[in-house]
Amino acid sequence: MRADAKRNYDRIVEVAREVFREQGYDASLDLVAKRAGVGPGTLYRHFPQRENLIDAIMQSWVDRVEEGAAKALVREGTPREVLLAWFETYVALISLHKGGPAKITSAMGNSDSPIATKCQVLTRANDQVVERLRQEGALRDGVDSVQMVRLVGGVATVADQGDLDPTVVRPLLAVVADGLLR
């Protein structure tokens, strides 16, 4: 990629991150282009679909997902405490941008989604937590990792759309955790 094209690419991603944080993932791409100081054609050359831009924004986020799962795996405490800590981390990760929980949760398990690779990162991280709980005999039989992230994503979506405080969200996550544990 030419140096000027790389600068435009990076600037578009940076500005889109800000705009999406302010207005959600459905914000105007024309606004993103304008704030980035590029024409719409430049934006669409780099990102033919909105989801391609979202995917680029989420790339740095992948490291945070892996770090969050690693912390959950070494956390000491009861299976419930471990699961709740992971759920809170998970909700924080998918809630970085307004509208993020709904966008990510609806893409879970959909291999055709442009953000499928990011969803797979989340699912793999969740799989690690699920495996730990299975080894401890704490998880109910038949609990599927994708089902779990969809449930937690549903709570995160309600919290995101209702601008709920984390103190209101934790009891909802506790209900989900209690339903998944033996």
Nearest to 96, CA basis, from 69, 67, 58, 129: 58
Please say whether the beta carbons of 132 and 82 come within 8 A. yes
Per domain, the residue ranges of the chain are 1-48, 58-180
62-79-95 Cα angle (round to 5): 30
- Per-residue pLDDT for 41 more than 80? yes
Q: Per-residue pLDDT tens for 60-94?
A: 678 788 899 999 889 999 999 999 999 999 999 99
Percent of the chain with pLDDT strictly greater than 70: 99
- Per-residue pLDDT for 24 more than 90? no
Crossing angle, helix 116-135 and helix 79-94, to 10 degrees?
Answer: 170
pTM: 0.73
Please say whether the beta carbons of 115 and 107 come within 8 A. yes
Tell me the C-alpha distance between 2 and 37, whole Å: 17
1-48: in CATH 1.10.3720.10: no
Q: Write the CA distances from 60 to 47, 57, 109, integer angstroms.
A: 17, 7, 21
> 3.30.70.100, 1.10.357.10, 3.80.10.10, 3.30.379.10: which CATH number matches 58-180?
1.10.357.10
